Amino acid sequence: MTGGFLTRRQVLAALTSGGVGTAVFRRALAAQAEGRRAITPEMIQQAEWISGVPLTDTDRQTLSNSLSRLQRDFEAMRAVPLDNGVSPALVFNPAPWETHGNRTRGQVDLSENHPPRKPATEDDLAFLPVTELAALIRNRDVTARELTELYLKRLKRYDPALLCVVNLTEEIALRQAEQADRELTAGRYRGPLHGIPWGAKDLIAYPGYPTTWGAPQYREQMREEKATVARRLEEAGAVLVAKLTLGALAMGDRWFGGMTRNPWNPKQGSSGSSAGSAAATAAGLVGFALGSETLGSIITPSRLCGNSSLRPTFGRVSRYGCMSLCWSMDKIGPLCRSIEDCALVFGAIHGADGLDPAAVDRPFHWPWQGDLRTLRVGYIENDRTPRERTELQVLKDLGVRLVPIQLPTRLPVNALRLILTTEAAASFDELTRQGIKEGLNSWPQMFQEGQFVPAVEYLRANRLRTLLMEEMRKLFEQVDLYVGGNDLLITNLTGHPTIVLPNGFRRNGDIEVPFSITFTGRLYGEAELLAVGHAYQQATNWHLRRPDMSKLVPIQNG
């Protein structure tokens, strides 16, 4: 056969051969008549290298028949429409050795009484962390309506330079702000997010507004469900002011409107894929934002834009109503101006909802009531001594116990990326089958790659993932959290929580740009993790720096 179709010579040979050959030929003709490419023993022989399993001629003949039946099964399954929101029946559990049971969600409040003094300028007000804004709103020094109008004005003013907004949600924002003010007048205070304007990465669905996933093919997509995180923030009194950009289908910072910019260096992209969430928060255009991460999409743009952000433990925050890319790795988390802000937002959005099968209830209390001096903080040894590492000296002064550690190196961790590629290929299978590639960054090639990963190898990768999870479990027998480390792929595979926060500034030509530090905690250990990050910020104050807004003028977008 050539290209799956029968040649004249093959037709004649089959007709004169009789026996099994004729039967096989007739099945091939039937398959061809149905528009299906017949699977031949020759095809199987050419593809044996994929599995690495040598076959005999008899094996190939038998397998050609069974694979043809399997091909029909594939076609039957492909005929059933699958919305992106339909998850597989298999659910990833980052801590299979633990039992969850019935648990409460915990209590969250400000760690201290912040001075409720309204800043003299709008810029100063816009850049305040949530902790300060909450005190101003609660004491009626600022109304939710006033704050909402301020952020809407700033979004309109600076978006032409940053390209961080997909759609403003002005109508619902003003309605929610007015409700927040009415409730406060009536004596009802929902908590520290009451009246605080926020932005949603535009893979978070909210009825009445497009949810574009940053891709031109979904530019007009209207989804009826309200994402659990949006609903919970609404219940906490927060005000949704904008749907913010993401790189197409959660990759990078390029979307159908251009490239989202870094407010510290507007000639540079903000990285991604939570590009708009990072840029808008860093530029003081929202009080905080939500992003998502599969492999670096919160941590990476937060490093570049100087955010204080949290990627929670896998399963601590429901992903219902959010675009699915990789069911066993996707996570939703806050991008903020301070680590305590992350604690306040996380306190509102975490917990099971009965809609995301991976979401669990684990108690989270803030402020953390423990003693920092009881915590063991690991650090990865390098060619500098602990005395030469500023971050270790800050931690030592905080009273924690420093413990040298090594991250797992025994397993081929980079090879496990195929888990993401394969699940992503399944999530967007229809794009690949329709040949749709425009405006999707590097996804089309990766989606095609995922189509060629055998199920056996996908499951093998997940079995190796189990071994990696066990190695990380043993590491956390030595420490409660650790600082730094090249662990982005490891911890996204194992589901461990990470915070990122600015840790200084360096010169980049004629401008200063932030550089950051990460802390990674034990599974479900967000409280201790955030407590150390908060104490670190109180000792350093790098998070209080802000970009020069005068540099944010509309520029040619490449």
- CA gap 238, 233 in Å, rounded: 5
Residue 516 is among the residues annotated as catalytic for this protein: no
pLDDT value at residue 254: 98
Q: How confident is the model at residue 6 (pLDDT cuts 50, 70, 90)?
A: very low
Residue 318 is among the residues annotated as catalytic for this protein: no
Q: Is the pLDDT of residue 506 over 60?
A: yes
Render pLDDT for 317-364 as a digit per residue (tens, 0 to 9).
999 999 999 999 999 999 999 999 999 999 999 999 999 999 999 999
Nearest Cα residue to 334 out of 367, 303, 312: 312
- For 504, what's the count of Cα atoms within 13 Å in the CB-facing half-sphere? 7
pLDDT value at residue 510: 87
Q: CA angle at residue 514 from 508 to 517, to 5 degrees?
A: 130
- How many residues are listed for the chain in this entry? 558
Q: Could you give the C-alpha distances from 264 to 43, 142, 548, 551, in angstroms and in order?
A: 55, 28, 7, 8
Residues 6+ apart with CB under 8 A from 77: none
pLDDT value at residue 5: 35
pLDDT value at residue 176: 98
The radius of gyration of the chain's CA atoms, rounded to the nearest angstrom, is 27
Q: What is the mean pLDDT of the chain?
A: 91
Selected catalytic residue, list 64, 68, 270, 273: 273
pLDDT value at residue 35: 58
- CA gap 173, 178 in Å, rounded: 9
Q: What H or E segment, with its residue span, contains residue 280?
A: helix 275-282
Q: How confident is the model at residue 66 (pLDDT cuts 50, 70, 90)?
A: confident
Render pLDDT for 540-551 as a digit per residue (tens, 0 to 9).
999 999 999 998
Q: CA angle at residue 465 from 464 to 470, to 5 degrees?
A: 100
Q: For 29-43, 295-309, 328-342, 431-445, which range has the lowest pLDDT when averaged over its residues?
A: 29-43
Reading phi first (left if > 0) and then psi (alpha if -120 to 50, else beta), residue 306 is in left
Q: For 199-203, 215-219, 269-273, 510-514, which range has the lowest pLDDT when averaged over its residues?
A: 510-514
**DSSP notation for 527-553:** HHHHHHHHHHHHHH-GGG----GGG--
The C-alpha torsion from 11 through 16 and 17 to 22, rounded to 10°, is: 60
Longest dimension (CA), the chain: 95
pLDDT value at residue 39: 87
Q: What counts of helices (H) and strands (E) characterise the chain?
A: 19, 15
Selected catalytic residue, list 271, 297, 328, 427: 297
- CA gap 523, 311 in Å, rounded: 12
pLDDT value at residue 256: 98
Q: What H or E segment, with its residue span, contains residue 517?
A: strand 511-521
Asked whether 361 and 351 are in contact (CB, 8 A), the reply is yes
Residues 6+ apart with CB under 8 A from 407: 380, 475, 485, 486, 487, 490
Asked whether 521 and 496 are in contact (CB, 8 A), the reply is yes
- CA gap 128, 287 in Å, rounded: 8
pLDDT value at residue 36: 64
Task: Classify residue 316 by its DSSP letter.
Answer: S
At 148, is the secondary structure helix, strand, or coil?
Answer: helix
Nearest Cα residue to 349 out of 128, 140, 180, 105: 105
Instruction: Provide, rounded to the nearest whole percent, the portion of the chain with pLDDT above 90.
Output: 76
pLDDT value at residue 51: 74
Task: Classify residue 62 by its DSSP letter.
Answer: H
Cβ count within 10 A of residue 202: 27
* Dihedrals phi, psi of 290, to nearest 5 degrees: -105, 140
Asked whether 192 and 134 are in contact (CB, 8 A), the reply is yes
- CA gap 525, 368 in Å, rounded: 11
Domains of the chain (ranges, CATH numbers)? 8-78 (no CATH), 122-410+455-543 (3.90.1300.10)
Render pLDDT for 195-252 as a digit per residue (tens, 0 to 9).
999 999 999 999 999 999 999 999 999 999 999 999 999 999 999 999 999 999 999 9
Residue 551 is among the residues annotated as catalytic for this protein: no
- CA gap 248, 271 in Å, rounded: 12
pLDDT value at residue 83: 87
Q: Would you report the helix, strand and coil content of the chain in percent, each value rounded to 5? A: 40, 15, 40
Q: How confident is the model at residue 115 (pLDDT cuts 50, 70, 90)?
A: low
Residues 6+ apart with CB under 8 A from 533: 308, 339, 342, 499, 501, 519
273 cis-preceded (ω within 30 degrees of 0): yes
Q: How confident is the model at residue 402 (pLDDT cuts 50, 70, 90)?
A: very high
Selected catalytic residue, list 201, 318, 324, 427: 201
Q: Taking the alpha carbons of 418, 439, 263, 121 in that order, is the dihedral positive or negative?
A: negative
Asked whether 513 and 505 are in contact (CB, 8 A), the reply is yes
pLDDT value at residue 69: 78
pLDDT value at residue 112: 75
